[in-house]
Amino acid sequence: MIERVFYLIAIAAFLGGHAYADDADTAIKAGDRIQLEFTGNAARKFSRFGLRPTAKAEARGLSISTIAEVLGLTDDSNVRIEHNTELVVDSKRYRLTLVGTLSPKHILTKTTPAGTLVAAAPGAMATETNADQHTRYLHVDDFAIFSDFKLQRWQLIEQLND
């Protein structure tokens, strides 16, 4: 009888520890990827950096999605993110960078249940997920959610190849 009680305690401790470990793995850490979705005023401002200077991004319902990487956590537990992409506009090469710091409460997680059909791109063959997939995302309609924010477009002036 006492062995059964210890056995049940051991199983409960194992399962409880396993659940705790899973929770710890869901914490945001350096290297994590976050899907950014810009809408409204933020989408208009973000699109200005990727379009020709004379082009206007005034389309209603404009939405831009991209990926950022978590650089790390600050001393006050805020999240520091970065996005980089290369652009070619009128045969000129540019680098677009976004760096910002924000509270982790703004970063949400979407869960795609196991068994869901997903495709890598529109028109691509869909495959069934084997396990739950968790995607971190950040909806940005105003850059004011960032306590520290910088969006820059850099132009390549000179390049040396070996």
In a domain, 70, yes or no: yes
Better-predicted residue by pLDDT, 2 or 119: 119
Q: What is the DSSP letter of 125?
A: P
Q: What is the pLDDT of residues 17-72, one digit of tens each?
A: 333 333 334 689 999 999 999 999 898 888 887 665 445 556 678 888 999 999 99
Q: What is the mean pLDDT of the chain?
A: 79
Lowest mean pLDDT among 3-17, 61-75, 84-98: 3-17
Number of structural domains the chain divides into:
1
* Element housing 82 (H / E): strand 79-89
**Among the listed residues 58, 69, 41, 26, the one whose alpha carbon sits nearest the alpha carbon of residue 141:** 41
In a domain, 85, yes or no: yes
Q: Are strands 92-102 and 33-39 parallel, antiparallel or unpaired?
A: unpaired
In a domain, 128, yes or no: yes
With a cut of 50, say whether residue 16 has pLDDT above it. no
Q: What is the domain extent for residue 49? A: 29-155
Confidence (pLDDT) at 82: 96
